[in-house]
Structure 1
Amino acid sequence: MNLKQAKVLLTGGSLGIGKATAKMLVDAGAKVVITGRNEDRLKEAAEETGAQYVVADVSQPEEVKHTYQQTTQLMGGLDVLINNAGIGGGFSPLSEVTADDFLSVYSVNVMGVAMMSQLAAEIFKKQGHGSIINIGSTAGTKGFERGTVYASSKFALRGMTQCWQAELRKHNIRVMLINPSEVTTAFGNKDREERDEEANKLRSREIAHAITSALQMDDRGFIPELAVWATNPWK
């Protein structure tokens, strides 16, 4: 698709991958609305990237509806949804996992994505085109020790993505999954402070590049799933 004047809604846009992606898309000529729960961080990210913002929590159905109402007012339509908002679990051993751990993570990583995508799909079906990009994880392709809650949420996201691909292709809607490996962001940091970049680790901009490149493919084709790994993180 041509990103010039494309209307993009991006969740979790105040930090890390979300902020880097918003900047790259705006630089490519797109109109972008970012969402997040912290208005101060959102406002700062909007100023840095050139995006507009809506304060919203994707785990709350009424705030999801509010997001689309505000996005329509700000941009006048929608061409792309990027489901980037996500949280990590406590990474506890199986013996310590609780039902609340699942509920808190799944409400964002699974239910939030589903609710955001449901409304986007309604818009895209009516207009006969659209793209949905889900930000998964390589943890959604292979589990790891203490990853019961987080990895299973990303496995669920991967499964939902495949279901939507089968359901929505006939409506000219592209549904794509990007699976980052470890990225030096604020993810998993309880204070939500960005980590310092490490020379050989992935940065947010590598994932932003993958997202932007996937969108820029002509609409007659799409990349169903893409994993991004650091070339040599141990160097």
Structure 2
Amino acid sequence: MKLENAKVLVTGGSAGIGLATARMLRDHGAQVAICGRRGDVVTAAAKEIGALPLTGDVGNEDDARRLVAETIREFGEFDTLINNAGWGRFAKLDDLRVEDFLAVLETNVIGAMLMARESARHFVKRGGGNIVNVSSTAGSRGFAGGTAYVASKFALGGMTQCWRAELRQHDIRVMQVNPSEVQTDFAAAGGRVQKLSERKLRSEDIAHAICGMLAMEDRGFTTELTVFATNPD
């Protein structure tokens, strides 16, 4: 599709990969809405890049409906969902709390499903659209301390395949991007130590991958794209 004049909703769009993707889409001439839980942070990020700020929790069904409805009301319609909202809580199995496990699934799995469902209903009516799920290489390989996060990303990969099978007949492209370790505040916020390096991936690298997937002509699509740092050590 043409990125210029595209109408895009980016969840988790106030920082990291979401913000970098929203900024890059704006640079290509797209209309972009970004959403997040913290209204002040979302508003500041939206002002910085010229996007529409929306506040809500993707894991809440009423909020998910409202976020999509507000995007449609402001833009008239929209054609692309970047399902990026997600977080992790990292702990070894014997230290993992049920409430942390469920909280990760609420955003990364239920939130992704709710946003995709509400968007897909609109895309079917308009005759096409795009859903890009931002997953992780953790969706294909586990690691110590990653139980909750890895489970959520394995689930997202399975849902992506289901949605693709259901929605292709409606000219809806369902895609997934799998970043390896990216230098953001994500890991530290989840309690995991991250060693910073100029050789590791940045949010802009993943934004470039997402924009490239979307820019392909609508007659085709990249089902899944995995992005590694060339030599991060």
1:53 maps to 2:48: no
Q: Give RMSD over aligned pairs.
A: 1.6
Amino acid at match of 2:182: V
Q: How much has 1:44 moved relative to structure 2?
A: 1.6
Q: 1: CA distance between counterparts of 2:56 and 2:219? A: 33
Matches of residues 137-156 of structure 1 in structure 2 within 5 Å?
137-156=136-155
Stretches (4+) displaced over 4 A = none
Amino acid at match of 1:200: R
- SS, match of residue 123 in structure 1: helix
Q: 2: CA distance between counterparts of 1:67 and 1:185? A: 25
Amino acid at match of 1:79: D
Give the structure 1 partner of residue 36 of structure 2.
36
Q: How much has 1:197 moved relative to structure 2?
A: 6.5
Q: 2: CA distance between counterparts of 1:50 and 1:19? A: 11
TM (normalized to structure 1)?
0.94
Q: How much has 1:198 moved relative to structure 2?
A: 3.0
Q: How much has 1:41 moved relative to structure 2?
A: 1.4
Gaps of 5+ in 1: none
Give the structure 1 partner of residue 156 of structure 2.
157
Deviations 1:26-74 (A, max 9, x none): 1101000000011221122112211111011111111111112211121
Give the structure 1 partner of residue 68 of structure 2.
68
Change in 2 beyond 3 A, CA 1:191/1:141:
closer
Amino acid at match of 1:216: A
Q: 1: CA distance between counterparts of 2:212 and 2:196? A: 23
Q: 2: CA distance between counterparts of 1:198 and 1:220? A: 39
Bigger mean CA offset, 160-169 vs 42-51 = 42-51
Q: How much has 1:190 moved relative to structure 2?
A: 3.0
Q: 2: CA distance between counterparts of 1:102 and 1:178? A: 23
Q: 2: CA distance between counterparts of 1:76 and 1:161? A: 27
Q: 2: CA distance between counterparts of 1:169 and 1:201? A: 35
Give the structure 1 partner of residue 2 of structure 2.
2
Deviations 1:164-205 (A, max 9, x none): 11111111100000000000111133399xx99631010000
Give the structure 2 partner of residue 201 of structure 1.
200
Amino acid at match of 1:103: L
Give the structure 2 partner of residue 15 of structure 1.
15
Any conservation in 2 of the 1:197–1:203 contact (CA below 8 Å)? Answer: no
Aligned residues: 231
TM (normalized to structure 2)?
0.95
Q: 1: CA distance between counterparts of 2:196 and 2:30? A: 27
Report % sequence identity.
51
